Structure 1
């Protein structure tokens, strides 16, 4: 893996681009429009879900300590006379004000096996917003790919954060190395699956293990790779060779 260099400013920039695009898609859709990529959800459900995440992160990410916050409630209640989009916009604006001023090295709780630093949250919110922007656009038949560099970092986030934290969609006895290639971002990832365990391999050290050969290879745009990892599109839409069954161990959600 040769991870692209990204910073807080990159993630804030992504949020500034993806947030308004999400809002524009929501504004175009009738509130009860189904979100096909989130079965059982309407556009209103999606909008309040994202607003709730923003509010939850806002409640603790700026705290001077890294203690765990109360569990997140599923969605905020709408105030009388307020729409879901207005609730989302208020939550987004408050979060952006916080993240703009946030020192990435300051202490902040997160749920991952990573240092408890505030820099976790601009990254997490950028990818949460980008994927849900895609969901919202799909609801109006206007889904646009996620920008390549952002999507490549999103793939890295799934592999270095979600899967090591045990946040897999499916659990199973997978064993073997999987190679992912983002054809438009010039980036490869090698992930070793060991039952419930996972290890993201550095290409500089991958040959230190006897069983280094990838048993499954997946190639496609960074956006399609990310959306496949999140279950938004099928791995069948990508170029897959080798043991397809291993790909079940890569999905998060």
Structure 2
């Protein structure tokens, strides 16, 4: 996906998110993030957007991290941060040098994709407060699934410490996309060879949400390898 594609997905997801949080009681719990209420979710997004703006500005690793806002109502701060991030995404080209924690090349492209995927997962969280959230649209969900395999897993950004051994086939049922990945004593390998020990399948949206722990992982095989399934959970 190119710059315009990611920018449009980010804008679409931000509008959906804002609709979900603009009038809701900030003390309402977020079911998909039990440690958060809506205020915490909004403050987190304000913080993350500010960080992304800084990443786009600099080819160097950050020296520190700012904490989330402690404002009673962080929604004005979210609006400010969103406007600044939108301006930064418009201003930069995907090939501009920008540090990232991913093993991918240090370019702004990483942050275009990261910004769109981050807002999508938290839009889903925000909609969950009031009822049934919309799925993530397939093109963006596919980008989010790919991000897991080319960035989060090789960078070790995992929910659970890993010592897994084995291979997983991940099949996207509403796309031709498929991955065969593996671990050897907890060491991750993309494009692993051989037969899979377990196959995980689902729509692009369901897989994206499952990797972020929002919905259960669905296996095609009758026997689940919990260690391998846990190895797909990211943070």
Asked if TM exceeds 0.5, the reply is yes
| Aligned-pair CA distance for 1:136 | 0.5
Number of residue pairs matched by the alignment: 233
**Higher RCO by CA contacts (8 Å cutoff, separation 6 or greater):** 1
Mapped partners of 1:99, 1:199: distance in 2: 32
8 Å contact from structure 1 (residues 48, 76) kept in 2: yes
Contact kept? 1:231, 1:251, Cα under 8 Å? yes
Equivalences for residues 148-167 of structure 1 within 5 A: 148-167=138-157
Question: Would you say 1:219 and 2:201 are equivalent positions?
Answer: yes
Cα distance, 1:41 vs. partner? 0.4
Cα shift at 1:229: 0.6
Determine the structure 1 residue equivalent to 2:220.
Answer: 240
Identify the residue that residue 111 of structure 2 maps to in structure 1.
Answer: 121
1:161-180, Cα deviation, whole Å (9 max, x unpaired): 00100111112321111011
Residues 1:72 and 2:37 aligned together: no
| Distance across 1 between alignment mates of 2:204 and 2:76 | 32
Deviation digits for residues 94-147 of structure 1 (CA, Å, limit 9, x no counterpart): 100011111211111111112111111110010000000000000111311000
Query: Where in structure 2 are the equivalents of 1:188-203 lying within 5 Å?
Result: 188-201=178-191
Structure 1: any 5+ residue segments left out of the alignment? 1-5
SS at match of 2:116: helix
Contact 1:28 1:140 in 2 (8 A): no
Contact 1:179 1:191 in 2 (8 A): yes
Question: Please, what is the CA RMSD of the aligned residues?
Answer: 1.5
Q: How does 1:44-55 map to 2 (within 5 A)?
A: 44-55=39-50
Matched, 1:139 2:126: no
Distance in 2 (CA, whole Å) between partners of 1:182 and 1:9 is: 24
Q: Residue 231 of structure 2 aligns with which residue?
A: 249
TM-score normalized with structure 1 length: 0.87
For the 8 Å contact 1:26–1:136, the answer to whether it is kept is yes
Task: Report how far residue 73 of structure 1 moved.
Answer: 2.1
State whether residues 198 and 219 of structure 2, in contact with CA within 8 Å, keep that contact through their aligned partners in structure 1: no
1:60 offset after TM fit, Å?
A: 3.6
